[in-house]
Chains A and B, each alone.
Chain A
């Protein structure tokens, strides 16, 4: 595990890449490497984070242009190999646009950019991304998004429920997401997308440590 390296993808317009790297290196002592979006060589990273921000200025739709980057093209094989991919905020939007996760993220119901701490229920243990053993079934994480309203058709929602792919639900739905969904995984569990920012909740001095578990779980096999 000593050489385990998490790749942090940098798109033009990413702005949480350094936060993610800081949280992984500074709080968890996990090595990171920035991956420029034009790179398609993922051979020396063991897990990948798609960080938050405004990739390609959110032009057309959030995540729509990032989907066509060489890095995202290379991600398919990475995911199929079972390696772990975490998409946070804009990273979640990219994962839905590129089809790694179902559904889409659209403008918040109240049209506001919402920047707040939210309480979240941990729903599924798929992929081991959250600590839902014992008492810890609710966590508090920051959100910061204008387009975070999760939307999918009823068949997809049924599948998400039946296959236990819903990772997190908002306790008090801030953005109008279907079924209060804040984060989902793929069927295998090795891809997680969520709107809240675990990397902003990794130190008590900045308001909480409920994000640590998720970042730490990147090193699970």
Chain B
């Protein structure tokens, strides 16, 4: 069995308004940061998982992302995978 460290990034789809991101952008500007064009908030999920090779692990992570980690009506996801 191989073990992998997976980082899943879940983001609101571009078409979905992100009011928390807008509020944070506004606070960033108040802090004095200049030049912020856009600020959107997502989630990062770290998973340690084992399986028989990368393909099998990718299948499991795809299922998790599609069914649980992200709601694909409002969110997109991507992930990176590192063999431990």
Contact = CB atoms under 8 A, between A and B. Distances in A.
A217 B64 CA distance: 38
Contacts of A108: 19
A60 B19 CA distance: 17
B69 A109 contact: no
A151 B19 contact: no
Interface residues of A, number: 20
A104 interface: yes
A103 B19 contact: no
Contact of B73 (A68, A111, A152): A152
Interface SS majority for chain A:
loop
Contacts of A160: none
Interface string B36-77: 000000000000000000000000000000001101011000
A79 B16 CA distance: 30
Q: Which 8 A-B pairs have the closest CB atoms?
A: A104-B73, A104-B74, A111-B19, A109-B19, A104-B71, A107-B19, A151-B74, A61-B71
Interface of A: 60-61, 64, 68, 96-97, 102-104, 106-111, 149, 151-153, 176
